[in-house]
A and B are shown apart, each in its own frame.
Chain A
Amino acid sequence: MTNNQNRSAVIRLIIVLFAFVLIVKLFYLQVISDTYAKKAASLSIRTVTEFPDRGLITDRNGEIIVFNEDAHDLVVHFPFRRDEFDIESFCELVRMPADQVEERLQSAYESRYNGKGLFYKNLASSDFARVQEGLFQFPQFYIESRSDRKYKHNVAAHTLGYVAEISRYELDRDHEGYYDIGEYIGKSGLEKDYEKHLRGTKGKQFYLKDNAGRLKERYNDGLDDTKSVVGEELNISLDVLIQEYGEKLMQGKTGSIVAIEPSTGEILAMVTSPGYTPDMFAIKNLGNNYARLVSDKSKPLLNRATSSMYPPGSTFKVAMALIGLQEGVISPATTFSCNAGFHLGSLTVRCHGHAPRPNVKYSIQTSCNAFYCNLYREILHQDRFANIDEGYTNWRSYLKRMGFGDRLGADLSSENRGNIPTSDYFHKVYGTNKWKYSQTISMSIGQGEVLLTPLQMANMAAMVANRGYYITPHFIRGDSIPEQFTKKNETGIERRHFETVIDGMRAVMTAGTGFYVQIPDIDICGKTGTAQNPHGENHSIFVAFAPKDNPKIAIATVVENAGYGATWAAPICTLMIEKYMNRDSVSLRPLVEQRMFNPVSPNPVASHE
């Protein structure tokens, strides 16, 4: 009996042991490991994303520039149940031959994500209605709708930027995990810089699905669902009227225009040419245009307004004069002799015909080179400096405070620095402690190593218009803009010195190089520039602001390889100013306008640099 009792105990022990093994394994599967819960969710829960409309973009007058239209993708769910798929009627529905359907299914399968593959992107609106109606027969297919960008004013492509499918690189850097593969993101320009502002918040709906991918019901009674939130409107500082006008003026030319409202730093227009129109990069057009524009030799994708650097030419004399006055090496009455140029040994900087001893104002009006060669020497060789490095560094620090040689920090990510070399650079070029001001004298008239972007040139005009400070140029508007876009950047030049220079710039228009393009109603102050270009024809440059008192607009225009500043850049600037100031009133000079629109028949305006 004892033996048998023991055996019954052994049997019970075996039962308990096996049961214990089951319980432990279950504990591992259910409590410790979370892989199964994740797999279950990916198999049985379908997340339907509700994409919000992207925010509108409006101009400074509230005019809508960018809005949305719906785009629809046909999406297929995996694992795909072929036995439940009636390919013939599907082919009929999508009007596609069977082999093409198979091909698309295969590529959708290969690029699937979370069981979702893109079968057809951007259904045409005519197809959309038909497909949606017939889709109930194919529960594994469904339509996902997104909005695509549409342009009421088809301008400012470089500024606005574009939206496209998120790249692998961007996905990897999306640390908050907002984006899924196949979604859209701002790729450049304001669409990129203000992505978070514009995109809104995606909504998510969770559905239970069965083993064939059929939706069954709301998961958890929809308690986990989230509503989408429409993207916020982005009000930007552009004035569509002059942006459009500027793009028209720049047609057929290479170069750019930047206009800034001096008192706020708001960018009123930013034109770059040759360019493209923003709708070419709408989601539905991007595929057709991108490769072509990227390989275009004229570089239409380059935003010349912020990325290209030019020697500022004579427009730089404005900065030179201001530094000289602030440093006290000249007064408004100081004159330098000009004997048809600046002569030092074998070095000659030629000048144009004008009265021989110009003062500051007259030197700006007539764009005298000799005056600035002398002034450069005076600024660098002051008694208080032990050597040329100190003098040069002091001069350079003024330029840096004017925003040269650094990115200004505009809310557009394509900015270039320009170039104001350090004295170390000259030590390297000419040998340590061997360089002299005369070797770098071309910088005094905005040639040589000095390089500015058109944005920096316009900013200089704004700084002069403000009589001493600038506000970092930007596009964003509104009450809550970052402090960096409201702060005054002081140049350290006293207000009184500006009146002299501004008088000179006014005289440019009334009696100088800008005479032929002045506008009677508006007191424009400007300065022409002709940047020598070793690769070809000189660049035509003009900076200006208006009106002289209480300025509303500061502007810079560069037209590449177009000769004198007064020939192309100046008329374009003044037309822009007039358009901005007088709005709808017809230009006073339709002939000039006509000539700008039609650059193949130039009618050169006699001009002096």
Chain B
Amino acid sequence: MSERIYGQARVDGITVILYLILVICGFLSIYSSSHGSESFSFNLSTQYGKQIIWITASIVLGTVLFLIDVRFFEVFSYGIFGFWMILLFLVIFLGREVNGARSWFAIGSFRLQPAEFAKFGVALALSRYVSDIDTDMKSRRYQIITALIIILPIALIVLQGDAGSGLVFLSFIMVLYREGLSGSILIIGLVSIAVSVLTIAFGFIPIAAGLVVLGGIISAFVYTNIKVFRWLWIILAGCILFSKGVDFAFVNVLQEHQQKRIQVMLGIIEDPQGLGYNVNQSKIAIGSGGFWGKGYLQGTQTKGDFVPEQHTDFIFTSVGEEFGWIGSTTVIVLFVLLFFRISFLAERQRSKFSRVYAYCVLSILFFHFLINIAMTINLAPVIGIPLPFFSYGGSSLISFTVLLFLLLRLDANRENELDSLSY
């Protein structure tokens, strides 16, 4: 062991290969959805032309990371976090409004979305804080600061009017779970989501009544055990209170278009021409792909520009239409392989910072992957977040690349880390 501790580890080739495959598939999909009917020409003013620039820039930046001292990011993690928080704050006032959200800086033709890069800053800050040797995980102070690191960017992004991008940070719960957060919190989270959805779908009264009936039925079996009986009703009472709260928040806090969006997603209202238009077209494009797909560049819905925002948030529709179920499943499997690899990399880190950071990367990528694909097939509400490595756009591609390549940088250096930093 000892002679390898200070040895030089190599860049993880499997991750790089998976990354390249996904980026190339993404480029091909963007080409398909934006090439028009003219034959291929290398034209940098087109969307696929620009994407080539972004891909090149991403790879260059990813490589540059390897030239920077590996300690830099850990040392300056709070500084990087602070920098992006300031930008997130400024964009509220200085940003250009696009689709009702003020989340873009525009300088000439160059546009930058700080929310994309903020993920990187938050991931670093969270890793640094959680892995800090002084941090006492059991203390209330630790828990509050951890929560603040996550909630601050969410608040700023929600203020920009881009609630969808803000939700991404909730995925860090996965990191916290890995680092010891009680599993019951996850269960509470899942029960909360279930109660929320049911309340919005059916209203407070039926849910409350249903919970009482459920409690009555269970009581019939457990009334002999006074302790279980008591807890049962405490939990049910909590659920009913929570349901009332959700009902109140849904009606009084959310704006009408947000309510509608959620209702459309839950299938409570049909709206194929309005809010549901994108999803409807997206489902038609994907659904018409069949088992084998219509063939590359043969998608009728893709060619006819039927799916709005196809090259960005709805890029998966191009895969679904032209490569069918086989292609969609292949892409999903590729992502899952990447996630497994990241999880594997995470677990082999000696430094806690590296491990926490790896899980941050995993949770961000997984959340984007899950919500993006789910929204194209109407399993999640349409929140405008991109599919990592696929969707058109410099900000998101560069940010995801930097996020992943820093992990590779840390991983390549893992043997130089002190064992004692991890447990």
Query: B-contacting residues of A (Cβ < 8 Å)?
Result: 1, 4-5, 7-8, 10-12, 14-16, 18-19, 21-23, 25-27, 29-31, 33, 35-37, 39-41, 43-45, 208-211, 216-217, 219
Give every chain B residue within 8 A of A219 (Cβ-Cβ): 300
A208 touches B303 (CB 8 A): yes
B304 touches A39 (CB 8 A): no
Given contacts A30-B324, A31-B291, A41-B288, contact A211 B304 (CB under 8 A): yes
B286 touches A29 (CB 8 A): yes
Q: Is the interface of B mostly helix, strand, loop or mixed?
A: helix
Tell me the residues in window 322-374 of chain B with beta carbons closer than 8 Å to chain A beta carbons.
324-325, 328-329, 332-333, 335-336, 339-340, 343, 346-347, 359, 362, 366, 370, 373-374
A43 touches B303 (CB 8 A): no
B37, B304, B305, B336: which contacts A16 (Cβ < 8 A)?
B336
Select from chain B the residue with minimum beta-carbon distance to A42: B284
B178 touches A40 (CB 8 A): no
Query: A-contacting residues of B (Cβ < 8 Å)?
Result: 37, 174, 177-178, 283-291, 300-301, 303-306, 320-321, 324-325, 328-329, 332-333, 335-336, 339-340, 343, 346-347, 359, 362, 366, 370, 373-374, 377, 379, 423
A40 touches B301 (CB 8 A): yes
Give every chain A residue within 8 A of B285 (Cβ-Cβ): 40
A26 touches B329 (CB 8 A): yes
Give every chain B residue within 8 A of A14 (Cβ-Cβ): 174
How many angstroms between the C-alpha atoms of A44 and B281 in the bound complex?
A: 11
Select from chain B the residue with minimum beta-carbon distance to A7: B178
B304 touches A30 (CB 8 A): no
A5, A18, A35: which contacts B287 (Cβ < 8 A)?
A35
How many angstroms between the C-alpha atoms of A29 and B286 in the bound complex?
A: 7
A26 touches B320 (CB 8 A): yes
How many angstroms between the C-alpha atoms of A43 and B347 in the bound complex?
A: 49
B306 touches A30 (CB 8 A): no
Select from chain A the residue with minimum beta-carbon distance to B303: A208
A11 touches B37 (CB 8 A): no
B177, B286, B300, B340: which contacts A26 (Cβ < 8 A)?
B286
Select from chain A the residue with minimum beta-carbon distance to B308: A211
How many angstroms between the C-alpha atoms of A372 and B285 in the bound complex?
A: 84
Give every chain A residue within 8 A of B336 (Cβ-Cβ): 15-16, 19
How many angstroms between the C-alpha atoms of A29 and B316 in the bound complex?
A: 14
A selection of 20 A-B contacts at a CB cut-off of 8 Å is A8-B178, A8-B343, A8-B347, A11-B177, A11-B178, A15-B336, A15-B340, A19-B335, A19-B336, A22-B332, A26-B377, A29-B283, A30-B325, A31-B291, A40-B287, A40-B321, A43-B284, A44-B301, A44-B304, A208-B303
Most buried by B among A30, A31, A36, A43: A30
B366 touches A4 (CB 8 A): no
B304, B325, B379: which contacts A31 (Cβ < 8 A)?
B325
B325 touches A45 (CB 8 A): no
A37 touches B306 (CB 8 A): no
A8, A25, A208: which contacts B300 (Cβ < 8 A)?
A208
Give every chain A residue within 8 A of B362 (Cβ-Cβ): 11
How many angstroms between the C-alpha atoms of A15 and B338 in the bound complex?
A: 11
How many angstroms between the C-alpha atoms of A14 and B379 in the bound complex?
A: 16
Give every chain B residue within 8 A of A30 (Cβ-Cβ): 286-287, 289-291, 320, 324-325, 328
Output the least CB separation between A83 and chain B (Å).
Answer: 15
A40 touches B288 (CB 8 A): yes
B286, B343, B423: which contacts A11 (Cβ < 8 A)?
B343
How many angstroms between the C-alpha atoms of A45 and B305 in the bound complex?
A: 13
Output the least CB separation between A355 and chain B (Å).
Answer: 91
Select from chain A the residue with minimum beta-carbon distance to B363: A11
A11, A31, A36: which contacts B174 (Cβ < 8 A)?
A11
Give every chain B residue within 8 A of A19 (Cβ-Cβ): 332-333, 335-336
A36 touches B287 (CB 8 A): yes
How many angstroms between the C-alpha atoms of A15 and B178 in the bound complex?
A: 14
Give every chain B residue within 8 A of A33 (Cβ-Cβ): 287
Give every chain A residue within 8 A of B305 (Cβ-Cβ): 210-211
